[in-house]
Structure formats: structure tokens, C-alpha cells
Amino acid sequence: MFSHKVTIQDLERSTPITIKTDNGYQDVYNVIIYTSSPSDLVTNGISVQSTTSKFVTALIKKEDLEKIYKIKSVKSISLPDIDLLH
């Protein structure tokens, strides 16, 4: 079903972004979500940052993963990768 699946352990190995909310500080993670319907993510409470026709970038909490994998329009989730010039 999914061509690439990010796990909670994958998130824990990446660097979180700490944001301030009304309820205090919270760690979120940058992910790339390949989907045919970005609006399905927004409807399910996922914080979508940017949108293209094939994928979105989003900030998610660890507990969002389970929710995301239940959305039928989601094909894959991956962590961003930075290519550094040598």
C-alpha cells in the first residue's frame, strides 16, 4: 500500500522543531506526504505547510502518524533530506 512508511522511531532520530502553542511548547517534525488529495490531510487536522499536485510538506506530531496512515489518499510519507555540496 505505502511505498515508504515513516515510523515513530524515524521521527525520534530526526531533529524536531519546537513550536509554542496555547498549551505550551510542542515538538513537531517536518515530513513530505505524497497524496492525491491535500485537503484530506487538512480535514484530519494535519498542519500542511506547502502544496504541489503530488505532495505536501507538513509539520506533524508523533501521534499524527497513525491518523495519516488511515487516510486513503496518502501514498507515502518521507522525511526531508538535505543534500550538501562537498
Supply 30's cell numbers.
517536518
Give the pLDDT of residue 49: 96
Mean pLDDT of 23-44: 95
Give me Rg for the CA atoms of the chain.
13
User: Which pLDDT band holds residue 81 (cuts at 50, 70, 90)?
Assistant: confident
Query: Phi and psi of 66, rounded to 5°?
Result: -60, -40
Give CA–CA dist 26/5, Å, rounded: 23
